[in-house]
């Protein structure tokens, strides 16, 4: 398929996800606890999208490669070494706002 409203179903059934560095794709996959390999487009190197992918790689949550090294990555990958991605905490934001607005 080309475009779908939501990939949630496919994600749920997947054992491994190979994706571009888009933040939405990365976060949705990690939140479902699926192992993720991020493929970087070399031609868009100064795209800010890479910032999140690089950070996730630094944190050990994703594997990282470009188109030419994808096969090699797939052959040598150790998915068990990937660290879990803890969820964000919007409650901290709510607490902060309540505090600064004097709503507590």
Partner 1 sequence: TGGHTTEILRLLSCLSESYSPRHYVLADSDKMSEAKIRSFEQKRAETFSESQFSLDRIPRSREVRQSWMSSVVTTLYSVLYSLPLTYKRKPDLILCNGPGTCVPVCLSAFLLGLLRIKRTIIVYVESICRVETLSLSGKILYYFSDYFIVQWPDLKKKYPKSVYLGRIV
What's the CA gap between 32 and 14, in Å, rounded? 10
- Which of 27, 32, 57, 77 is in the footprint of partner 1 by CB under 8 A? 27
Task: Based on the shown chain and the rule CB under 8 A, indicate whether residue 91 belongs to the binding site for partner 1.
Answer: yes
- Which of 54, 57, 73, 77 is in the footprint of partner 1 by CB under 8 A? 54
Task: Based on the shown chain and the rule CB under 8 A, indicate whether residue 32 belongs to the binding site for partner 1.
Answer: no
CB neighbour class for 58 (10 Å; exposed up to 12, middle 13-18, buried from 19): exposed
Identify each DSSP E strand in the chain by its residue range.
17-19, 36-40, 63-66
Task: Based on the shown chain and the rule CB under 8 A, indicate whether residue 84 belongs to the binding site for partner 1.
Answer: no
Residues in contact with partner 1 by the rule CB under 8 A: 23-24, 27, 48-49, 51-52, 54-55, 86, 88-94, 96-98, 100-101, 103
């Amino acid at each position: 398929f080309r475009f779908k409203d939501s990939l949630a179903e496919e994600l749920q059934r997947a054992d491994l996800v190979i994706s571009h560095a888009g933040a939405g794709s990365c976060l949705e996959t990690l939140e479902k606890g699926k192992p993720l390999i991020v493929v970087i487009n070399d031609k868009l190197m100064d795209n800010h999208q890479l910032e999140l992918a690089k950070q996730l790689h630094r944190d050990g949550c994703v594997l990282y490669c470009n188109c030419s090294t994808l096969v090699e990555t797939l052959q040598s990958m150790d998915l068990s070494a990937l660290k879990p991605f803890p969820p964000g905490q919007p409650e901290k934001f709510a607490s902060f706002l309540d505090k600064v607005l004097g709503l507590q």
